[in-house]
Each structure stands twice: as structure tokens, then as C-alpha cells.
Amino acid sequence: MLNGLCNRLSIYARLIRIDKPVGIFLLLWPTLWALWMASEGLPDAKIFFIYLLGTFLMRSAGCAINDYADREFDPLVKRTAGRPIANEEIAPWEALIIASVLSTIAFGLVLTLNLLTIKLSFLAMFLAVSYPYAKRVISIPQAYLGVAFSFGIPMAWASTGNHVPLVALITMLGNLCWVLAYDTQYAMVDRDDDLKIGIKTTAILFGKFDVLWIIFFQSSFVVVMSIVGIMGGLGVFYFIGLACAAVGMAWQYPMIKTRSREGCFKAFRHNNSIGGIVFLGLVIDLILASS
């Protein structure tokens, strides 16, 4: 019985991608950028913990919802054929239960924050639940994901200062550009399978210009985040971090130029480092500014 329970928990852990934490960090980094900027480098410990745990919970819930929505497609895609629902290791309703429980816990955390943050959380929840279905309707679902993955930014500002300034919206735009770049890399991994089953992605929309579009979005990210730095009065170490991130994104070009599955997936995972570099530069800058 104990072995059976452990096996079940192991399957649920795979469902919510505990073994693949890169998605958690890609969601977390922009939220931390916003939290540190909004608090001028001194975030409240309670708010920091809420966003740390809340990011994990919502990304996990999003994975469960995504697998439920894609239960008919995942068995047809090489990368996703081994997922628990696709493999019939669990029933689809189990994924819904897990997503509901995780989302409820996350909402409980949000309820300890101010009213503006609570209001924003409803829109964030809608985006998380509806994203898996966007790729059936729009040709650029990566933009929809970009908005969903950027919503921790205004929420972080709302939690800290009870308002959402213009710089928060500009930061969202910068993160949207970044998501469009790295999620197009991700979509390139599945392009052949997605074409067969009729899924819409930027990798299909951009066709032979996919790499050029990725470079454009990466460049736009650097430009927009530079504007954020100027608007926020950030100093040299922030811009050094941003420059290092730009070099890191340029380093991804050899990985994606041949459009191999392995290379594109490696480039996608490398974006975790990009987000961390920007955050490190920001933290160092704010620490030195306050000393």
C-alpha cells in the first residue's frame, strides 16, 4: 500500500513537472525583478515568501491544466508522449483535482495581500486556465503565454506599493518579448508534430524566419529592459547584468540555427540563466545604491 501511494505521488510530481523546474524559474524571475524594483531592494519577507510559493503552486497547477487540455494531442507528440495522462497512468479528472487544490492554496496566499493584488489575481487565474486552449484559436499563442507569465509583475508592484506604475507595464512588455523568444525556441522542438495535429505556434507562423524573429524579440527585450532601467533610476550594475544577458542570448544562436530538436531545447533551458543574470545585476545595483 505504501509503495502504491509513493508511486502515485511520483506520477503526480511528474504531472506538475517537479522534475523540470526551468518553467518555475522562467515564471519566477520577472516576478522577482518587479518585487525588488518595487521595494527598492528591500522586499517584505512575507510578500517574498508568498510569491515564491505562489509561483511554484501556479506553475504546477498550470502544468496539470495544460496536460488535461492536451490529453488528446500529447500522445501524438514525441516530447509529450510520456506524460502521465498521455500514458494513461492517471485519469484526466485527477489532473483537474490537483490543479484545483494547488490553485486554491495559491489563492489563499493571495488573500493575505491587499485588495488590488486580489483583484489582479482573478485575471492571472483566468490567463493560467485559458492559455492551454489559446493554441487552438490564435496563431501566436506564445504572446498569450507572455501575458500570463508577466502577470506576477503588476501583482508584485501592487502588493508592495498598492498601485501599478507605468514602469511595471513597461517591464511586462519587456518580459513579453523575452517569452516570445524562448517559447518560440520551445515550439521549434515540436514543430513537425504540431503541423501534423493542427496546433498553432509561432514556430509554424514564422516558418523559415523563426530564428530572425527570435533575435528580434531578444533584442527588443534588451531595449525595453534598458528603458525600464532608465525609468527606475537604476545604475551601472543593472546595465552590466543586462549586457551579460544579451551576450548569453547571442550565445543561443548556434544552438538554434540548425533548428535541431536538441539544440532548440537546450537554448530554451538556457533562458533560466538569462533571467537569473538580470536579477543578479538588479540586486547588486540596488544593494550598492542603498549602502
CB atoms within 10 A of CB 272: 18
The per-residue pLDDT of the chain, averaged, comes to 93
Q: For residue 199, give the DSSP letter.
A: -
pLDDT of residue 5 exceeding 80: no
Cα–Cα separations (whole angstroms), residue 112 to 40, 53, 105? 22, 13, 12
pLDDT of residue 1: 66
- Is the C-alpha dihedral spanning 205, 200, 134, 22 positive or negative? negative
What pLDDT digit, counting tens, does each position of 131-174 carry? Answer: 888 878 888 999 999 999 999 999 999 999 999 999 999 999 99
Packed helices 261-290 and 236-250: angle between N→C axes, nearest 10 degrees: 170
Using DSSP's 3-state secondary structure scheme, residue 111 falls into coil
Query: Per-residue pLDDT averaged across 248-274, rounded?
Result: 96
Query: Per-residue pLDDT averaged across 42-65, rounded?
Result: 95
CB atoms within 10 A of CB 25: 18
- Domain range spanning residue 99? 2-290
What pLDDT digit, counting tens, does each position of 65-119 carry? Answer: 999 998 988 888 888 888 999 998 989 999 999 999 999 999 999 999 999 999 9
Count structural domains, the chain. Answer: 1
* Cβ-contact 151, 130 below 8 angstroms: no
pLDDT of residue 250: 97
pLDDT of residue 122 exceeding 90: yes
The CATH code of the domain that includes 197 is 1.10.357.140
Residue in the structure block whose three cell numbers are 522534475? 19
Percent of the residues in the chain that have a pLDDT greater than 90, as a whole number: 79
Nearest to 182 by CA among 291, 287, 25, 290: 25
